Amino acid sequence: MQTIDNLATDLNEYLEPEQVEQVVRAYHFAKDAHKGQTRKSGEPYINHPLAVAQILSGMHMDHQCLMAALLHDVIEDTGVPKHLLSVEFDQEVAELVDGVSKLKSMFHSRAEAQAENFQKMALAMAKDIRVILVKLADRLHNMRTLGHLDSERRRRIAKETLEIYAPIALRLGMNAIRIEFEELGFKALYPLRSSMIEKAVRRARGNRKEVVTNIRQSIVSCLEREAIPATVIGREKHLYSIYDKMRLKRRSFAEIMDVYAFRIIVSDVDTCYRTLGAVHNLYKPVAGRFKDYVAIPKANGYQSLHTTLFGMHGLPIEIQIRTNDMEMVANNGIAGHWLYKSNDASVSGSHRRAREWMQGLLELQQSAGNSLEFIENVKIDLFPDEVYIFTPIGEIYELPNGSTPIDFAYAVHTDIGNSCIACRIDRRLAPLSAVLESGQTVEIVTAKDALPNPAWLSFAVTGKARASIRNALKHQHQHESVELGRRLLERTIQALNKTLDDIDQQALKEVLSQKHLTSFDGLLAEIGLGNQMSNVIARKLIKDHNWIKDTELSYHGPLAITGTEGLVVTYAKCCRPIAGDPIIGHISAGRGIVIHVETCGNMHEIRDKGDEIMTVRWEPDVDQEFAVELRVELEHEKGMIAMLASTITSAAANIERISLLEKDAHLASVNIVMTVKDRVHLARVIRKIRHIHNINKIIRLKG
């Protein structure tokens, strides 16, 4: 069993004696604090923090990190306050312990509690990266001792480990911990599948032994002939990796085990490339399977040359070539050579990338609506596969697989993303939804007054892009709601020959208090969104006026619709109103004003529901395009649909959707959704369609 004396002996190898003494003092403080507490296994609780510290000592972590590991549960489980830790030890240790500790508040659901815990830990680790190292070591020991818990808790903890902690370990380059997380998590979550694959691997290993030995010997002999000193290791596939490939790539166990994997470790980068040339001469390389992560490292700092070869008898051989330093970073990642001070000029590549990722976490937290949205965005960013995209001046950006130009724009800068209107991929115009591939050069076209499009959320992949789009839309929605609310309230008050300046300030305070709002703009936004009625609010704000009945209230003309109101004015899809149509509006809670054609059949139902109906009119100079739907009945013949589409396009209308409803061998109906500027423009389009021969009837659909 591990004891504090064993730990102290290990620490004396790389820490100063006074630092080891402080770690021992932290152990005794934690032991006294946890006195009488036991784990599910029945052993004293102090054994857990001691084991966590032992894991971190294997990474050669500093004395403060080890002290935090020993004390990591005292705030949560023993009632020792944070300030006492800063008095007993120091502020830095207290902050580390607090960062690892869970929140104690009550939440509506387990999911929200877990999200809040992770959010707090993520923010703490953005300030000091050692927080996540302590948390990973804590989770690793908990996974090693998972067998003492009931099956439901085992499955829940294993699922959380596979979904969040294993990807974080991968993101920080800590491959050894990531593999152990995956193996233990897989065994706990799917014990039967794990056991079956383990038995199959054991059987296959016996059959493969001779082949592995022969391939390894041929590689060693080849490198000796080229005078390249190297260590050649046969790589074993771990169980979760086999299961994941079988599940995601839909491959059989035999297909995966037919691949033989080796790692070649050499002294320097130059020798890596010489070794690559040597193995490519030994066996033929598989086209398109070479990846150079030395020149372009992965986001977590991982570096290696990857290639796949056709070996003897056509057997596929996967080769990784790397230096000793790269091997250390691949296994221990950020913990391989830790540096915590942000002003340290010698911060390594993996640390710089880890810091950039954690800085991104801070940005995500600031723009996320709640903790569940935050954790969803973080999960998106824990992708193991990246594509590497170039800017026009040659800078490289790493993005998750499946990213689009929108993701790239937000990766460059939030303002670039928010003002993006188009893009060029390899100098050619391309849609913003195009999926990017490694090596492409992307140029973003921006416009000063451009705004994010809600449709971007359907294809944006990165957490930063999605959070930034949501945040921008939220602000845009808020601004537009305030402006519409102001117009509605002004219109109601003007009916009494009053202005907003005549509002009674005391009455305003009372209304804000009643509605649980903090500002006048907040009240205007609620009116604009339809959550509050303008005439009801006006009654409460104008104190010195004898209000007449709503039915007798003569508003100052209908509300003018400009077409640029944005998200708070929507156009009903049942009747698709366009500029020039006689229109009517109704206020819908949460949506603002919904505009219908006056003759729309659905307005009867809306009146019955008691929604506020309001008179509206179009501004004379509306500069906006509106969707309209036509049904065209025609005699069916070859090329008619193409001619119809060409005619509509020539009239400067844009077709959004076209569908053919076959009637019989000779007659057909075509439904067309297109955008036009106004009724005059629509009339021009219809006139052009009528000139096509074989057109029988054109109907505008309004319901």
Give tens-digit pLDDT for 533-567.
777 777 777 765 555 444 444 445 577 777 666 66
pLDDT single digits (tens) 270-281: 999 999 999 999
- Looking at residue 362, its pLDDT comes to 62
Q: Is 60 exceeded by the pLDDT of residue 338? A: no
| Digit-coded pLDDT (tens) for 519-528 | 888 888 887 7
Give the pLDDT confidence score for residue 423 in this predicted structure. 93
- What confidence score (pLDDT) does residue 566 get? 66
pLDDT over 60 (residue 663): yes
Using the predicted structure, report yes or no on whether residue 342 has a pLDDT greater than 60: no
Q: What is the rounded distance in angstroms from the CA atom of residue 441 to the CA atom of residue 427?
A: 8
d(CA 489, CA 511): 14
- The CB density around residue 415, as the number of other CB atoms within 10 Å, is 12
In whole numbers, what is the pLDDT of the chain averaged over residues?
A: 81
Question: Does the pLDDT of residue 299 top 80, yes or no?
Answer: no
Q: Calculate mean pLDDT across residues 261-285.
A: 92
- Can you tell me whether residue 524 is helix, strand or coil? helix
12 neighbors 57 (Cβ within 8 angstroms): no
Residue 96 phi, psi dihedral angles, 5° rounding: -65, -45
**pLDDT (0 to 100) of residue 396:** 77
Query: In this predicted structure, what is the pLDDT of residue 358?
Result: 61
3-state secondary structure labels for all residues of 297-364: CCCCCCCCEEEEEECHHHCEEEEEEEEHHHHHHHHHHHHHHCCCCCCCCCCCHHHHHHHHHHHHHHHH
Q: Is 631 exposed, middle or buried (0-12, 13-18, 19+ CB in 10 A)?
A: middle
Please tell us whether the domain made up of 626-701 is placed in CATH 1.10.10.10: no
- Band (pLDDT 50/70/90 cuts) for residue 66 is very high
Q: CA 677 to CA 60: how far, in whole Å?
A: 69
Better-scored residue on pLDDT, 542 or 691? 691
Give the span between the Cα atoms of 275 and 262, in whole angstroms.
13
pLDDT at 122: 62
**Smallest Cα–Cα separation from 577: which of 655, 652, 629?**
629
The CA angle 646-651-652, to the nearest 5 degrees, is 100
Instruction: Return the top range by mean pLDDT from 468-477, 479-488, 628-637.
Output: 628-637
Pick 193-335's CATH classification: 3.30.460.10, 3.40.50.2020, 3.30.930.10, 3.20.20.330: 3.30.460.10
**What CATH code would you report for 4-190?**
1.10.3210.10
User: What pLDDT shows up at residue 347?
Assistant: 46
**Contact status, residue 135 vs residue 68, Cβ threshold 8 Å:** no
Q: Which of 201-210, 418-427, 450-459, 542-551 has the highest mean pLDDT?
A: 418-427
Percent of the chain predicted with pLDDT > 90: 22
Per-residue pLDDT band for 341 (boundaries 50, 70, 90) equals very low
pLDDT at 668: 85
- Within the chain, what is the greatest distance between any pair of CA atoms? 104
Is 60 exceeded by the pLDDT of residue 105? no
The residue to which tokens 């000592």 are assigned: 57
Mean pLDDT, residues 375-383 taken together: 59
Residue-level pLDDT at 451: 83
Rounded to 5 degrees, what are φ and ψ at 524? -60, -40
Q: Which amino acid is at 237?
A: K
HSE on the CB side for 436, CA within 13 Å?
34
327 labelled catalytic = no
Judge whether residue 301 has pLDDT over 80.
no
Q: Parallel, antiparallel, or unpaired: how do β-strands 626-635 and 654-662 relate?
A: unpaired
Domain boundaries, the chain: 4-190, 193-335, 471-595, 626-701
pLDDT tens by residue, 125-170: 666 778 888 888 999 999 999 888 888 889 989 998 888 888 888 8
Contact by Cβ (8 Å): 583, 616: yes
641 pLDDT higher than 60: yes
pLDDT at residue 369 is higher than 90? no
Q: What is the pLDDT of residues 563-591, one digit of tens each?
A: 666 667 888 888 889 988 998 888 877 67
Query: Of 10, 76, 244, 292, which residue is the catalytic one?
Result: 76
Asked if 76 is an active-site residue, the reply is yes
Say what the pLDDT of residue 542 is: 75
- The DSSP secondary structure of 594-633, one letter per residue, reads EEEETT-THHHHHHHHTPEEEEEEE-TT----EEEEEEEE
- β-pairing, 442-446 vs 386-390, is unpaired
Within its chain, how far is the Cα of 580 from the centroid? 43
Structure-token pair, residue 76: 């949560």
The closest alpha carbon to 541, from 600, 501, 592, 595, belongs to: 501
The 3-state secondary structure of 415-463, one letter per residue: HHHHCEEEEEECCEEECCCCCCCCCCEEEEEECCCCCCCHHHHHCCCCH
Asked whether the predicted pLDDT for residue 637 surpasses 50, the reply is yes
Q: Given 77, 198, 629, 633, which residue is catalytic?
A: 77
Half-sphere exposure of 54 (CA within 13 A, CB side): 16
Q: How many CA atoms lie within 13 A of 167 on its CB side?
A: 14
